[in-house]
Structures are given as C-alpha cells and as structure tokens.
Chains A and B, each alone.
Chain A
Amino acid sequence: MPHASSCDESVHAIETGLLRLKWLAAAARFQLALRRHDFALKAGFDPSQPRVPAGNPDGGQWTRDGGGSEEFSGSDSVTISDETSALWIGGEQYAQGAPRGPYPGRGPILINGQWVQPTPAQSALLAALEARADSAIRRVQDIFPEWRPTASLYSTVEGRIARARAEAEQAEVRVAEFQRNGILPGLFARESIPARGPERNFTSLERRQIYEIGSMFGCHTCGTFSAGTRSGYYFCDHQMPSALNQRGQSQRLYPQCASCSGRQGNWITRYGGGLK
C-alpha cells in the first residue's frame, strides 16, 4: 500500500508540474501577442491603410492615399510651417526645437526648420526605436528624475533614427544596471504581492506568500533558489525600493536572496541615499 501511495503522489506531482508548464506557456503566448499588438500600435500600423497592388514594382508598399501625410512626397524636405504638428505628443522640447515625444509612426519630421517625410520603413523603425527609448528613459527617471540621455543633434532622418537607437541603448544600460542591483524588478521577477506601504513590518502571511513565490521562481534579482538567509526564507523586497520612491508610487513585494539584498543596500546608499 505504501508503494501505491507513493506512486499516486508522484503522478500528482507530475500532473501539477505539467499544468504549471502549460500555464506558463499560455502566459508567454499571451504576453507575446500583447507585445506584438502594442508594437503595431506604436509603429502606427493601420490595417486599413491602402497598399500598392501586387504586380506593381512597389507592390505591397504603403501608399500615401489614405495616410496622414498627403501633402508630402517621398523623403524630400518640404518647409510647411513653424507651428507644432498635431502629430506630436508630449510637452518637452527636442534640442532642435521640435516637441518631445515618440514619433507616432507616420507624418513628417521637423529637421532644421524643415518638415521631412521619412519613408515607411524609416517611419516604422523610428517609431519603434523612440517608443523603446521613451519607455526605458521613463524607467530610469523613476529612479533619477533628472537623468537624461546624452544630447545629440541630427540633420537627417537617419540621424534621428541613430539618435533614438543611442538613447534607447543608454537608458537600457541603466535599466539593466538597476535590475542587477535590485533597484527595479529583476530579470527573474514573475509574481509579486502588493505592499501595504513602505513599512517593513511584514505580516506572517506576506512572508509566507513571498516564500512561496521565491520557492517557485527564485530571487527576483539573480534567480537563485537558495535564499542564503538564516531562516531559509526569502526577504520581502519592496519594488521600487522605498528609499528611491520619491514619487510615492505604489509598491510591490518580491522575493530576494540575502546577497542581492545586501548589494541593493550598498547601491542605494552609494547612489541614491547620501552618506552624511
């Protein structure tokens, strides 16, 4: 009988594991679909925009008809107006005087006082890169509100694309540094629980939930399944860290190992706190 019971337990454990894998796969597919959708929207994708019919040398390319830039042709520079285009969003100013905000994926770009129409490929690439840069910059500025990527000038559409790529990379390097040091949810962050506030008087329920999440996904910063603590429990880690949460954003709790908690404390004191 003990043997049968042991088999039952093994089968149950395997079934549970399979269910979990199926759930993870479904979640990953859903996230991927969401990102594709988000990317298409940011890139200005419009399924109803007409294309050049097949058989034409430019078959499959977007046409200007029905697009948002009928008054422009090709990539020629055309001076239209000094006024802000309705296509721009955001309130800050570019170094060259154009309004700040990710390129919406269509329409002209103001370069050196002239409106320039990028090609569809340039439009899509620029929109994707600027959305990427904008997202990464916002994450850095959540920690350091004054942070800006190194300023650069551009005089062509390709120059602006290069600038967007450089800004995205600069910001992403900082984000990766934050993640490595526990300043943002790390690469291994999956599940979390809401924090009641910046207080560190965690309840036994919160500790147990964090322990369970840690047992399933490991330390959110480094991924280890060895908490390295005296009790064996993962620490409850506020994200974003309370010492850096200048805007009072709502926080969540993630499991963190002892080593990453120490490194996080060192980083916060070194860069975000300020020794007296």
Chain B
Amino acid sequence: MTKSINLGIPNGVLFIRDRLSRDFPEMEGKGWVWSTPSFITLMCLHEQEGETQVTIGRSSDVRESGELMFDGVLETPSREIVVDIVPGEPILIANVDSEKTRVRIFGNAGRHSDDVAIALS
C-alpha cells in the first residue's frame, strides 16, 4: 500500500525523518540530498515551478523508476517515518516494522524532480 500527495513544495525542500528526530543535516556544498542517521533533507521541484507528486510506501508497492537519489538506512525508533515540508508541516506518514529502515528515494529529474517516490524496506 502506498500513500501519495500532489502539491507545491515550499522552498523545494522535503524532510524525511523518524517522527521523533530533530537531527537536521547541514546543507553543505552542492547536491540535493543530505542526511543524518535519522533525518533526510531532499531538494525537489520548487513550488514556484509547479507541483510535485510525493509517494511513500513499501518497496514492493512503490514504483521504483527514475534516478536513485538516496539509498541508506534510517534509524526509526518511533516506527513512523514522516515527510514534512517547510516550515514543519507533515504531509505523509508511514508506519514501519523495525527501528532501522532501508530508505530508497527515486526522483525523475534530480533536484528538479516533480515525481518523488520513497520506498521503504
């Protein structure tokens, strides 16, 4: 099962994190993904250039297409992964089974992606 939303993303930034985490990564250098053990900051299409579709779900359910933007393990002690937008508004929440979750993020156009898929396993 997947959850999906289509909206303009303020500042073109998505936050993908354990529900309890406030461990923001420093956005240093060029790139469009930054992370800490429990927090991912991802750039995508800015709201001033259009809407973005964000999808989250189990790997088996999410369509894994486009460019792999992130592949790593997120600490998820709360067993909930939240996707937020600026200035801290949750847009999607997914329950996970364990305290560590493999997260893979796919985008269709790098930092200008208007289709972002978050696959959890």
Taking a contact as CB atoms under 8 Å apart, the answer to whether B13 and A265 are in contact is yes
Q: Which of B47, B86, B90, B111 is within 8 Å of A276, CB to CB? A: B90
Whether, in the assembled complex, A123 has its beta carbon less than 8 Å from a beta carbon of chain B, the answer is no
Taking a contact as CB atoms under 8 Å apart, the answer to whether A263 and B27 are in contact is yes
Taking a contact as CB atoms under 8 Å apart, the answer to whether A243 and B87 are in contact is yes
Whether, in the assembled complex, A258 has its beta carbon less than 8 Å from a beta carbon of chain B, the answer is yes
Q: Which of A228, A229, A262, A274 is within 8 Å of B11, CB to CB? A: A262
Taking a contact as CB atoms under 8 Å apart, the answer to whether A262 and B27 are in contact is yes
Q: In the assembly, what is the distance between CA of A202 and CA of B46, in Å? A: 13
Taking a contact as CB atoms under 8 Å apart, the answer to whether B27 and A266 are in contact is yes
Taking a contact as CB atoms under 8 Å apart, the answer to whether B87 and A235 are in contact is no
Total interface residues in chain A, CB < 8 Å: 27
Interfacial residues of chain A within 228-244, with CB under 8 A of chain B in the complex: 228-231, 233, 235-236, 243
Whether, in the assembled complex, B15 has its beta carbon less than 8 Å from a beta carbon of chain A, the answer is yes
Taking a contact as CB atoms under 8 Å apart, the answer to whether B11 and A275 are in contact is no
Whether, in the assembled complex, B70 has its beta carbon less than 8 Å from a beta carbon of chain A, the answer is no
Instruction: Determine the residue in chain A with the shortest Cβ distance to B45.
Output: A230
Taking a contact as CB atoms under 8 Å apart, the answer to whether A273 and B87 are in contact is yes
Q: Which of B27, B48, B84, B90 is within 8 Å of A202, CB to CB? A: B48
A274 partner residues in chain B, CB cutoff 8 A:
87-88
Residues 238-272 of A, flagged 1 when their CB comes within 8 A of B and 0 if not, give 00000100000000000000110111111011101
List chain A positions with a Cβ less than 8 A from chain B: 200, 202, 207, 228-231, 233, 235-236, 243, 258-259, 261-266, 268-270, 272-276
List chain B positions with a Cβ less than 8 A from chain A: 8, 10-13, 15, 17, 22, 24, 27, 30, 41, 43, 45-49, 82, 84, 86-90, 109, 111-112
Q: List 18 A-B contacts (CB under 8 A).
A: A229-B49, A230-B49, A235-B46, A235-B48, A258-B46, A258-B111, A261-B11, A265-B12, A266-B11, A266-B24, A266-B86, A268-B11, A268-B86, A269-B15, A269-B24, A269-B88, A274-B87, A276-B88
